[in-house]
Amino acid sequence: MESILIWLTLIVVAVVVLVLAVSLILIAAALIRADRNLKALAGGLDAIRDNVDPLATDLTTINTAAVALRDQLRGVDGNLQRIIRVFGG
């Protein structure tokens, strides 16, 4: 009876060790895949940063032109309002 309990204990321990080993191997594989994906993501973010850098000067120019256009449109709006007042609208 004692030898059966010893063998059962050894079998249970072996199963537990096997399950833990498989779990750790699967976790390690998942971490390796995650590392690969994070490296690709970092590379993509670097490319985005490099592609966006030249936009700063272009956006400044566009913003300056948009402000000038806005000011001119406000002037046109003021002229149209005066014309409406003259014609009694």
Same domain, 46 and 14: yes
Same domain, 43 and 10: yes
Range of the domain at 14: 1-53
Same domain, 28 and 40: yes
How many domains does the chain fold into? Answer: 2
- Token digits of residue 40: 């690709």
Q: What is the pLDDT of residues 50-80, one digit of tens each?
A: 999 888 888 999 999 999 999 999 999 999 9
Using alpha carbons, select from 49, 18, 52 the residue that is nearest to residue 41.
49
Amino acid at 16: V
Q: What is the model's pLDDT at position 47?
A: 95
Same domain, 74 and 61: yes
Same domain, 35 and 66: no
Q: What is the pLDDT of residues 2-35, one digit of tens each?
A: 899 999 999 999 999 999 999 999 999 999 999 9
